[in-house]
Amino acid sequence: MRVLLQHSPNSGEPPHFVQLMLQPDLFGGWTLLREARREGKSQLKRSQFEDRASAVAALKKLRDSHIKKGFKPLPPPGRNVQTEIPWP
C-alpha cells in the first residue's frame, strides 16, 4: 500500500514530496515507511506495528495531517489514489 503526496510551495521553490508505504515484515507485523524528499535531500522514518489495522490507522493519520498542511495526493502511475486507501 502506497500514498504519494506533493506540496508546491511559493513559486520559484521546488516541490516537496512525501511517500507513505505499508509493508509486511517477516515476523507477522507491519512497517510504515515515511519518505520525505525536498531539493535533493531525503529522510526515511520507519514505524513498526503488530497488526495491519493499527498500521493502516497510523498511515491514514499521517496522510490526513499532511493534507491539512497543503499536500495533495498524487496517484501512482496507472492507479487511482482513491482505490489505495478509502477517503474518510
Residue 69 CB burial class (10 angstroms; 0-12, 13-18, ≥19): exposed
**Dihedral (Cα; 88, 86, 44, 5), 10-degree rounding:** -80
Domain borders along the chain are: 2-79
For residue 18 the three cell numbers come to: 512525501
Nearest by Cα to 21 from 31, 29, 36: 31
Q: Which tens digits make up the pLDDT trace of 12-40? A: 778 889 999 999 999 999 999 999 988 77
Residues 6+ away with beta carbon under 8 Å from 34: 18, 19, 20, 44, 45, 46, 47, 62
Q: Which tens digits make up the pLDDT trace of 69-87? A: 999 988 766 655 555 555 4
